[in-house]
C-alpha cells in the first residue's frame, strides 16, 4: 500500500466503494471469472493465449499462458497479490490454456471457412451463493459468440449456437474433458474465491480510512483564504493612502516654494490637491506692448462664494 501512487490510491478507493456497493447488494453472493482467449495462429508479436480475471465484474489480473508471472491490472489486484492464493493460480491457468489449444483443431465448426482468423473464447465462472452453495460453469465460443455451456455441478452440456455442435459432440463423450473442466471450476476456482473473499472483507473494513485525512485538513482552507484577503485589503489601502499623502505633500511643498509676488492664494477650503484658482475668472490675452504676461480676474456675482481667489503669474 505504501508503494501506491496517489492515482492508484484514488482508483483503489473507488474500487472499494464499488465492491462495498456490490457486497451490500448481493450480500454473501460473489463470483470469480477467468476469460481465456486462444489464438492458434497469432500474428508476430501477439500472444497465443491471454487470461483476464474478474471479481464481481471488476478486472484485477492478466496472464500470458506462456509466462511465469500473473500481472495485476488494478490496485485491487495489488491488494490481492498479498494473499498466498495469488501465485497458486499460475499453473492451473497455464494448464487450461494448453488444454484448450490442444483441443482446438478437433472442435472447429464444420462450416467455418478460411476467410478470417478463428479464436476460441472460454469463460470459467465460480460463484458463492448467499446460502453457502458453491456453483460453477463454463462458456465456450468462437470470435466472441457463445456456442456451448457446461454446468460443472451436474456435468450437463448445453448447445447455445450451432457453432458449438461439434464441440459438444466431442467433449460430452470424453470423460477426461468433463472431469477436467469440473475439477478446475469446482476445485481450484472455488478455493481461490473463498480466499479472495477474506481479502475483500478486510479491504471493506478499511474502506473509510482514506477519507479521514482530508476531513482534518479541509476546514482550515476557508480560514486561510479569509486571512489572506484581509491582509491584501490592508496592504492595498495602505498603498493608496501613501500615494494620496505623497501627492498632497508634493503639491504643498511646490506651492510654498513659489515667490510671494507670483503666488498669492486665498484658499476657500483645505483641498486635497493644494491651491486651486476660483472657477469664476476670465483669461485675457497677454499685453503684447508690455511684454509681461498678465492675468486679470473678473468675479462673477452669479457664483457666490465666501472668499475670492486671485492668482498672478
**Quick one: pLDDT at residue 299?**
38
**Quick one: pLDDT at residue 292?**
38
Do 138 and 149 touch, CB atoms closer than 8 A? yes
Cβ atoms within 10 Å of 192's Cβ, excluding its own:
22
Could you tell me which residues come within 8 angstroms of residue 290 by beta carbon, excluding any fewer than 6 positions away? none
Query: Grid coordinates standing for 140?
Result: 465456450
Q: b or e along 290-301 (b: 16 or more beta carbons within 10 Å of the residue's beta carbon)?
A: eeeeeeebeeee
**Quick one: pLDDT at residue 82?**
86
10-residue mean pLDDT profile of the chain (313 residues): values are 61 61 60 95 91 91 91 86 90 96 88 73 92 89 94 94 92 94 94 86 65 45 68 83 83 65 45 44 44 41 42 38
Domains of the chain: 6-217 (3.30.500.10)
* CA 88 distance to own-chain centroid: 33
Alpha-carbon distance values, 185 to 33, 77, 134, 181, 217 (Å) = 10, 20, 10, 6, 48
**Quick one: pLDDT at residue 27?**
58
d(CA 166, CA 178): 15
Query: Grid coordinates standing for 189?
Result: 476456482
**Quick one: pLDDT at residue 302?**
42
**pTM above 0.85?**
no
d(CA 121, CA 106): 15
Do 171 and 182 touch, CB atoms closer than 8 A? no
**Quick one: pLDDT at residue 297?**
40
**Quick one: pLDDT at residue 287?**
46
Q: Which residue has the cell 493465449?
A: 49
**Quick one: pLDDT at residue 254?**
72
Amino acid at each position: 500500500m505504501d508503494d501506491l501512487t496517489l492515482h492508484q490510491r484514488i482508483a483503489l478507493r473507488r474500487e472499494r466503494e464499488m465492491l462495498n456497493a456490490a457486497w451490500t447488494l448481493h450480500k454473501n453472493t460473489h463470483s470469480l471469472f477467468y476469460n481465456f482467449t486462444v489464438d492458434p495462429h497469432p500474428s508476430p508479436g501477439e500472444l497465443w493465449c491471454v487470461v483476464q480475471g474478474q471479481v464481481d465484474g471488476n478486472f484485477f489480473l492478466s496472464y500470458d499462458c506462456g509466462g511465469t508471472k500473473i500481472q495485476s491490472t488494478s490496485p485491487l489486484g495489488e491488494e490481492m497479490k498479498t494473499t498466498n492464493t495469488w501465485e497458486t493460480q499460475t499453473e492451473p491457468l497455464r494448464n487450461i490454456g494448453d488444454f484448450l489449444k490442444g483441443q482446438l483443431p478437433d472442435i472447429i465448426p464444420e462450416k467455418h471457412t478460411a476467410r478470417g482468423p478463428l479464436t476460441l473464447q472460454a469463460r470459467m465462472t465460480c460463484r458463492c451463493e448467499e446460502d453457502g452453495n458453491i456453483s460453477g460453469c463454463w462458456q465456450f465460443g468462437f470470435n466472441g459468440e457463445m456456442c456451448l455451456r457446461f454446468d460443472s455441478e451436474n456435468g450437463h452440456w448445453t448447445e447455445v449456437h450451432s457453432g458449438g455442435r461439434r464441440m459438444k459432440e466431442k467433449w460430452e463423450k470424453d470423460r477426461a474433458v468433463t472431469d477436467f473442466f469440473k475439477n478446475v471450476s469446482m476445485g481450484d476456482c472455488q478455493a481461490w474465491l473463498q480466499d479472495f473473499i477474506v481479502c475483500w472483507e478486510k479491504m471493506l473494513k478499511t474502506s473509510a480510512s482514506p477519507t479521514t485525512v482530508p476531513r482534518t485538513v479541509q476546514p482550515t482552507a476557508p480560514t486561510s483564504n479569509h486571512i489572506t484577503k484581509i491582509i491584501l485589503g490592508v496592504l492595498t489601502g495602505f498603498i493608496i493612502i501613501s500615494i494620496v499623502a505623497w501627492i498632497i505633500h508634493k503639491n504643498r511643498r511646490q506651492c510654498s516654494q513659489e515667490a510671494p509676488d507670483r503666488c498669492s492664494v486665498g484658499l476657500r477650503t483645505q483641498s486635497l490637491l493644494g491651491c486651486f484658482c476660483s472657477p469664476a475668472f476670465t483669461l485675457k490675452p497677454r499685453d503684447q506692448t508690455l511684454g509681461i504676461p498678465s492675468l486679470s480676474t473678473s468675479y462673477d456675482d452669479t457664483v457666490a462664494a465666501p472668499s475670492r481667489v486671485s492668482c498672478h503669474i
